[in-house]
Every structure is written in C-alpha cells, then in structure tokens.
Amino acid sequence: MTSPTKDQTLAVVFVSNGPGELTTWVRPLAERLHRRLLMRPRAPGSLVSLRLVLVPCPNATGTEAAAASRWGLFDRITLARQFWLLLLKPSRFGSWPDRGVVVFLGGDQFWSVLLSARLGYRHITYAEWVARWPRWNDRIAAMAPTVRDQLPRRFRSRCRVVGDLMADLSSHAKEEAPLPSGEWVALLPGSKPAKLSVGVPFLLETADRLAAQRPGCRFLLPVAPTTSVEDLERYASCSNPIAASYDTDVASIEPARAGEGLRRLMTRNGTEIHLQENPPAHGALSQCKLALTTVGANTAELGALGVPMIVLVPTQHLGVMQAWDGWLGLLARLPGLRRLIGLLLSAWRLRNHGFMAWPNISAGRMVVPERVGPITPEQIALEAESWLATPERLQGQRDDLRGLRGEPGAVRALAEEVQGLLPLALSD
C-alpha cells in the first residue's frame, strides 16, 4: 500500500488562547470530533490531522500548550509565541496539507482569519456575542440568535445557531464520581498569575474564617490545567508580596485519604482544602453548594453547571488586577506605562463595564452577586455563611442559572458544522 500524498491529507486546526477556552470549548469539541472521525493522533494512520494553534493573548499563562498536550488529542500544537512565524513560514512547523479547516475557539477572531487565509483553508468561527469578520468566514456557529441577527443580511445564510458550548458541561459532569458527603464549598482563585497572586491568599484566609464559622464546611479547590499545586503554595507564601496582606499560609500538602482520591492542602490555621488535580473538575464542582470565584471563564463554567457563586474582585490590589481582554489589556502592559495605565484602565473598567460575571452579562441583570471593591476575607466568609444557612436562596440562584444555561447539544452541532466543511470523501 502506498503512502498518501500531500493532496490526500487534511488538517483540522483549532485556534484558541487561554485556559478557560481550552477546557470548556477546545477539549469537548476535540473529543467529539475524534468520536465522529478517524483523526491523528488517536488514529495514527488517518488522513486527517487534528492540530491546535495558540494565539497571542494577554490573559494566557504560557502553559496552555503543556496542558493541552497531556490530553493526547492533537497531532501538533503550535505555541502562541510562534504564531507570527507560523504565518510567515508555515513550513517551519512541519508539513501542512493543501486542504483543511480552521476553527476559531478563542482569542481575537482576526488571528483565525489570517491563519485560514495563509494556509488556504476553509474557516468557521464560534461566536459568543458577535461575528466580527463574516465576509471571510465560510461558516459561523453562533451561541445565540442575537449573533445571527447582528450580521448583514447577505451573510446570515452562513450562520447556524448551535447554542452555548458550556451547556453541555452539566450532562458530562453527571458521569463523574461523587464527592464524599458534606457541605462542599468550591474555591476558584483563577488560572492566570495576576488573579492567582490575589485569589490564592484571599480565598485561603476566607476558607479559614468560614471553617471557623461553619465547622461542617468542606472545601474543594480545582487546580487549573495551566497551574500546579506548587504554584498555589508559592502564591500563598512570602514570595508573593500580596500574601503579606492576609493571615494565611500553606502548612503542608497531605496525601489523599483512603477512598477519597484527593490530596489535601492544609492551611497554617488547620483548614483542610481538597485539591482536584484532574481537570476538568466539572463533576466535583457540580456537587458543591456554593463557589467563591474570581471573574473570568470560571463564572461561565459554574453557571453552566448550575453552581451558586459569589464573584470576587478585590480592588485593593488593582496594581496586579490587569488581566483584561483585548488591546486595552495589552496597552496596560507597555514598559514604563504599565503601572499608571494599568491602574487607570482597571479603575475605568470597574466603574463603567457593568456586569463582570458571565451569568450576569448573559442575563443582563444581577443573577449572581458580584463583590467589587476593597473587600476582605472576613466579609466574604460572613456572606458565604449567610448563603449556606439559607438553602432556599441557594436554590433560587441555582434555578436562575439553569434557566440561563440553554439546552445541551452545542458541541455536537458545532462538530457537525466542522465536519460539513471537510471534503465529502473524508467526512463520510
């Protein structure tokens, strides 16, 4: 049997950026496509290669490629810092088939437009709120009808409303093993350095205080795929200047108890925090009564799972809370202007951006509480105890979140759209 020629092979190329998108969009769609098609690397002799291209993003951690490689889903992964060189000379990064499909799944939509044009591939964009470049999209997969309605009429036929990719999280979460019995509270300090430097010490002290108020509480901290337990220890220690503002520290990391499977972080004050180190942690999170979380994609995940939450933005640390999106975030990082512009930018965003949690942005109203300001762990622990003491309030928020979630099936629908752009002989 002769080896396939270049013209017989095909690439499906995912374009994405940060840890939230990788976990909630990229991985589920990759898993679905591998079930629908024979693709490398899971099918070594396949004509179809599934690849991941990471793009420049101020919110990325730099460890996205390492996290994605552990999943064994991609035949090739291109780092964000290599993106411009990839555009200039694709052959530097191996052989690229003549035919392929570029799938936008996070970052700036223009990056995927450039890449599809450079490679000569067809192009589909998953659009949450707006499709910015419909002229250069073969297909648009919209989260909601409002995305389609914003398109010029001549491009609407290219758009299919597939739904919210997050809506599928809850159905997959049911398949995972239950947590040990107890009143579980999730702690989500973020996945990016700017958020972790504040979120880790803040939430560890909050857990200490909540444990003292409500001794039956048990704590779960999902370790993001781009983070490690060693990172958590570092952000809670004196090597993080912000940690000095909080009365907490990591005393030790203890092995899992028999039958539980989760290692435990012990704070200096004796609070036990279980570490979920096998992302995604959707099954474990879905069993929590309440979550304390920073802003970001984690609020969308929690909302999709129907987990009540309190969203935290401690503004006393604006100097490091610069993990904003887009060109404004890039401007805040310019040498010499970083601190001044970062402070002004962050303050402006907090005053004028409106809602910051994804469920509130989606609903256009306050569904989950957002605590923005010079908040303290003591205040948040008291508020969390109040929520836990009133199950009917928690159930009300849970019902609101489920009402926003939409029907599952978006991942399947998007996979159908991607497959529909493949040559017929390879998509059968």
Give the model's pLDDT for residue 3. 47
How far apart, in Å, are the Cα atoms of 253 and each of 155, 199, 234, 269? Answer: 55, 19, 13, 14
Give the model's pLDDT for residue 58. 72
Q: Which pLDDT tens digit goes with each residue over 244-280?
A: 999 999 999 999 988 788 999 999 999 999 999 987 8
Does the pLDDT of residue 176 top 70, yes or no? no
Does the pLDDT of residue 4 top 50, yes or no? no
H or E, element range at 254: strand 250-254
Q: Please provide the size of the chain in residues.
A: 428
Question: Mean pLDDT highest for which of 321-330, 353-362, 365-374?
Answer: 365-374
Compute the distance between CA of residue 402 and CA of residue 193 in angstroms, rounded to an integer: 31
Least confident of 70-84, 287-301, 342-356: 342-356
Least confident of 76-80, 252-256, 421-425: 421-425
Compute the distance between CA of residue 353 and CA of residue 17 in angstroms, rounded to an integer: 22
Domains detected in the chain: 6-163+409-427 (3.40.50), 173-405 (3.40.50.2000)
Compute the distance between CA of residue 12 and CA of residue 419 in angstroms, rounded to an integer: 9
Give the model's pLDDT for residue 344. 63
More confident residue, 174 or 117: 117
Q: What angle do CA 14, 16, 19 make, to 5 degrees?
A: 130
- 321 pLDDT band (50/70/90 cuts)? low
Residue 347 identity? A
Q: What is the mean pLDDT of residues 313-341?
A: 59
More confident residue, 330 or 413: 413
Compute the distance between CA of residue 388 and CA of residue 207 in angstroms, rounded to an integer: 14
Compute the distance between CA of residue 369 and CA of residue 312 in angstroms, rounded to an integer: 9
Task: Report the candidate in 391, 394, 390 with the shortest Cα–Cα distance to residue 402.
Answer: 394
Task: Report the candidate in 179, 175, 169 with the shortest Cα–Cα distance to residue 262.
Answer: 179
Q: What is the mean pLDDT of residues 389-412?
A: 91
Give the model's pLDDT for residue 395. 96
- Cα distance from N-terminal residue to C-terminal residue, the chain: 22
Give the model's pLDDT for residue 2. 43
Q: Which pLDDT tens digit goes with each residue over 30-60?
A: 999 999 998 999 999 899 999 999 998 876 7
How far apart, in Å, are the Cα atoms of 193 and each of 3, 165, 210? Answer: 46, 26, 25
Q: What angle do CA 102, 192, 18 make, to 5 degrees?
A: 5
Give the model's pLDDT for residue 5. 44
Q: What are phi and psi of 239, to 5 degrees?
A: -70, -15
- List strand residue ranges (DSSP E) for 76-182, in order: 76-78, 99-104, 122-127, 139-142, 159-161
Contact 284, 295 (CB under 8 A): no
Q: What is the mean pLDDT of residues 344-349?
A: 59
Q: What is the mean pLDDT of residues 375-381?
A: 96
Give the model's pLDDT for residue 346. 58
Residues contacting 249, CB < 8 A, separation 6+: 204, 236, 237, 243, 267, 268
Q: Calculate the average pLDDT of the chain.
A: 88
